[in-house]
Structure 1
């Protein structure tokens, strides 16, 4: 558990660029560097987390922690990956006026540029393993085209569904055989069922608590839990739900909400830590423990569904993935994941970071450092941040 916590703490400090970039950081760390699992099993977990509602990169981290050190490892992975950005977001809530320019600084721009290199490395590495034939390469290209032409979370989910259908129809069973040993997540199926029951119970119980204690933090926590339970597509998709939970209710102005959204783009780790900012920015009458307690309640409320869902699904995932029909379906889904990553490499990663020849040069140099020189992502991130600050100066 300590090993898992320390590894994810370092990733939580250095993983800039949003959920798509996080998949690249995780793959480089756990597939290439540490060898905790192979590319095919990693992509299986990515596909599972893409199908579940909630923050996919955080769910993937929880799954990796569970495979390494059990349920305690899942909690340790979440703590390590989430803690740095959550603390930064709470501090930003306390001093937003002084930190208002951070999201447009040269350092942050350099971090956005290095995310291009990280995602490009992930697309390159995963395509070699997951798209080795024309059928799966075609599925990946089709998924990329669909997501680019019809932007939004529904298009991403649709690409996964179409990939599953085409995989079942086009991919031979022999070529879709899962590699490596079984994912060792079959322990405690009874616990997994209990976690899924708890998930549904909280989905019903928290709104009841909100009606019993109006004017407290519980109605907001119920809204955040529901957002984490039902939203597909990651952090950007959940923002309208969070805005509806706090701004129309008069808990904060839209300018305060948008300031937190801008800061969330500038910090490492999951975008869902915006919940910590919103908890700390609540009116004084709804805060406790100086705002830190409110931030913790909303942070747990939005991430708890992700934990319950992925821990409840993991023990059954391995049994399903060894059925031949499921293997063909997963081969198609994995190819579609590559296509979705390829589309995301352009939008939003490339479009938000590359605005000049100098930006492209920095992205190319970062890609060379990761792929050719095989430097640590930490080194590449720090060099890109310094280069971004120098370019801005």
Structure 2
């Protein structure tokens, strides 16, 4: 076995360890990457890690997954990057598909079975509010961005079609890109040298999936297209994905109930790995009528759909990123895109709360979860576990 092969094997082993232990959201994940990938193994330099992280946050798709794949790309090229992607997403995908099967089984066989999750449903909204607050404080820096955020939230409140979201993101980006002259020149802008193969791959899959779904009406193809489209348009991480999925699969297509969605979202906050794994749960329940095969097929297709576009795009952009980041309109457009994403988060908190009963218990658990996240160091999995234990105790003694 060559030294290179051993190095690749060790790299994939490190990714597997991260996929099983990366609790606590993006901040904790970045700290783990810095410790294991930079300081312990030396796969890349620290400055390169932060630069790749910034690039992934600028692209649509799951930023943590793109970052893992980008490091794999730098270490061993596209083949290692795709293997790293698979190792990173598989544990969380399996957990969320299993959760979908169990929740559906409980609902079918035990009336009121989801009462054990009665508290983690409002707790999920607490997580969304916390994520919104953190994201807004980081991304909203100007009056124009604040106005864009409020407009997008207003539109999302009253026009919840999934097709309006990408339009709002494009408008937001274009509106702030026109202020590019306010961006400082960091160096002389030079002509871009672009290799288009991965862009064509991304666009080709999107078009083929859309055409295939429209012609065949075959649910797995339709499901793949739904998630591939979302994965191509989501800026801002897993928390921004929530309003898209909720609108499309709960309100628009009625594949899941609001109760099922909130339960799955809360579970996704308590497991390691990528937050986009909620997609596997939604996809699995969307194909529940086909039995166990449907659950597995829906979960895997949804995972492929949500993760692949971001990977295609990071492979496309990483080759000319050093040139692209010098262009002021590119940097200026991010302000509008991020502002619209923040507006989506505000809308998500409202849309997810609306189906819940507005009683003191739900409000207490929403505010309590937010307070624990904001003012204590208790981890997300521990908070979710506490909510589940309280739900089980309450169900046992009160029914």
Q: TM-score, normalised by structure 1?
A: 0.67
Tell me which of 368, 376, 381 is aligned to 2:379: 376
* Post-superposition offset of 1:377: 1.0
Tell me which of 84, 87, 105 is aligned to 2:95: 84
The verdict on how the C-alpha distance between 1:127 and 1:87 changes in structure 2, with shifts beyond 3 A counting, is: same
Deviates more, 1:319-328 or 1:228-237: 228-237
1:190-234 Cα deviation digits (max 9, x unpaired): 8735853773696399779x98xxxxxx95533433443456774
8 A Cα contact 1:93 1:281, kept in partner = no
* Post-superposition offset of 1:310: 1.5
1:19-55 Cα deviation digits (max 9, x unpaired): xxxxxx6335435786699999868646633xxxxxx
The verdict on how the C-alpha distance between 1:139 and 1:97 changes in structure 2, with shifts beyond 3 A counting, is: closer
1: CA distance between counterparts of 2:185 and 2:110?
A: 50
* Post-superposition offset of 1:125: 1.7
User: What does residue 273 of structure 1 align with?
Assistant: 281
1:278-318 Cα deviation digits (max 9, x unpaired): 656427xxxxxxx44x5434433333233332111113345
User: What does residue 75 of structure 2 align with?
Assistant: none
Deviates more, 1:301-310 or 1:195-204: 195-204
Tell me which of 335, 338, 352 is aligned to 1:334: 338
* Post-superposition offset of 1:351: 2.5
1:158 aligns with 2:172: no
1:147 aligns with 2:156: yes
Tell me which of 329, 337, 341 is aligned to 1:325: 329
User: What does residue 224 of structure 2 align with?
Assistant: 225
Aligned alpha-carbon RMSD (Å): 4.2
1:62 aligns with 2:73: no
* Post-superposition offset of 1:143: 1.8
Tell me which of 86, 110, 130 is aligned to 2:139: 130
Taking the TM superposition and a 5 Å limit, the aligned residue runs for 1:83-102 are 83-91=94-102, 97-102=108-113
Tell me which of 343, 352, 366 is aligned to 2:369: 366
Deviates more, 1:231-240 or 1:367-376: 231-240
8 A Cα contact 2:70 2:314, kept in partner = no
8 A Cα contact 2:228 2:308, kept in partner = no
2: CA distance between counterparts of 1:124 and 1:367?
A: 10
8 A Cα contact 2:100 2:285, kept in partner = yes
1: CA distance between counterparts of 2:204 and 2:162?
A: 26
The SS at the match of 2:163 is helix
* Post-superposition offset of 1:110: 1.3
* Post-superposition offset of 1:155: 3.2
Tell me which of 179, 196, 207 is aligned to 2:202: 196
Gaps of 5+ in 2: 1-11, 36-47, 73-80, 187-193, 234-242, 269-277
Q: TM-score, normalised by structure 2?
A: 0.66
The verdict on how the C-alpha distance between 1:129 and 1:169 changes in structure 2, with shifts beyond 3 A counting, is: same
The verdict on how the C-alpha distance between 1:159 and 1:388 changes in structure 2, with shifts beyond 3 A counting, is: farther
User: What does residue 26 of structure 2 align with?
Assistant: 27
Deviates more, 1:149-158 or 1:74-83: 149-158
1:235 aligns with 2:245: yes
1: CA distance between counterparts of 2:379 and 2:392?
A: 20
The SS at the match of 1:97 is helix
8 A Cα contact 1:189 1:315, kept in partner = no
1:346 aligns with 2:346: no
2: CA distance between counterparts of 1:133 and 1:379?
A: 36
Gaps of 5+ in 1: 15-24, 50-55, 178-187, 212-217, 244-253, 284-290
2: CA distance between counterparts of 1:300 and 1:195?
A: 20
